């Protein structure tokens, strides 16, 4: 899925086992991705509390090595370096979601879910999240998904730190044709969170 968004061509491709070192380098830049390794949504909350950094990294590595189709997400490259990631997969692939009371199953539509974005610091503020979302939507369509769901934050007029905004901003999703279908009522949340949907 090559796209052109400036001087250098941006390529967005499914994460395959031969790209493990690339995604590991992106996650290794620091912050939550370094410790989470995109496993937070794939493990039940009661099990997550006992997981450590090594276990989450190894768990994600095993997932990538399975060479599954669909892939666990999409990786964005610029000039041969991985600069962005979006986790997109059938909702049932995310064990935390399937057991969540805070983000319950809305209906019987077998939607796919977008649960997180990772953007390299060198690429932030350049619209890469929107490009990743467009690519994730196209990937879901190609695999027969009837709808796409996500759980963004709504900072209102303010800003949110990357640690809170990793699920994406509401404005990014509404601009891409998603609509709010439910408010997320979480006592622990420091910002407004919602469930959004787009029928594909």
- pTM attached to this predicted model: 0.92
pLDDT value of position 165: 87
Residue 196 has pLDDT above 60, yes or no: yes
Distance from C-alpha of 125 to C-alpha of 106, rounded to nearest angstrom = 32
**Which residues are paired to 82 by β-bridges?**
77
108 DSSP assignment: S
Q: How confident is the model at residue 128 (pLDDT cuts 50, 70, 90)?
A: very high
CA separation, residue 96 to residues 14, 107, 166, 193 (Å): 23, 17, 16, 16
Q: How far apart are CA 172 and CA 174, in angstroms?
A: 6
Helix (H, G, I), strand (E, B) or coil at 120: coil
Q: What angle do CA 190, 192, 197 make, to 5 degrees?
A: 140
Nearest to 11 by CA among 78, 97, 96: 78
CA distance 13 to 1: 6
CATH code of the domain occupying 2-199: 3.40.630.30
The chain-wide mean pLDDT, for the chain, equals 91
What is d(CA 28, CA 26) in angstroms, rounded to the nearest whole number?
5
Q: What is the rounded CA–CA span in Å between residue 79 and residue 22?
A: 12
Query: pLDDT tens digits for 151-163?
Result: 999 987 777 777 7
Lookup: tokens for 148:
């796409």
In whole angstroms, what separates CA 44 from the centre of its chain?
17
pLDDT tens readout for residues 167-179: 999 999 999 999 9
* pLDDT tens figures, 139-155: 999 999 999 999 999 98
pLDDT at 116 (0 to 100) = 96
């Amino acid at each position: 899925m090559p796209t052109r968004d400036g001087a250098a061509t941006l390529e967005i491709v499914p994460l395959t086992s031969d790209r493990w070192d690339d995604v590991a380098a992106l996650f290794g830049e620091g912050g939550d991705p370094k410790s989470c390794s995109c496993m937070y949504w794939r493990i039940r909350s009661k099990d997550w509390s006992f997981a450590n950094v090594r276990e989450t990294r190894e768990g994600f590595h095993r997932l990538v090595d399975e060479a599954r189709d669909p892939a666990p997400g999409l990786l964005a490259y610029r000039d041969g370096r991985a600069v962005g990631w979006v986790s997109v997969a059938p909702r049932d692939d995310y064990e935390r979601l399937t057991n969540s009371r805070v983000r319950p199953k809305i209906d019987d539509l077998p939607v796919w879910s977008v649960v997180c974005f990772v953007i390299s610091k060198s690429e932030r503020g350049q619209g890469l999240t929107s490009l990743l979302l467009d690519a994730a939507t196209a990937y879901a369509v190609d695999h027969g998904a009837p709808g796409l769901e996500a759980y963004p934050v709504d900072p209102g007029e303010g800003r949110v730190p990357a640690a809170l905004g990793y699920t994406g901003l509401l404005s990014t999703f509404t601009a891409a044709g998603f609509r709010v279908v439910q408010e997320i009522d979480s006592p622990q949340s420091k910002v407004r969170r919602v469930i959004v949907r787009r029928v594909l």
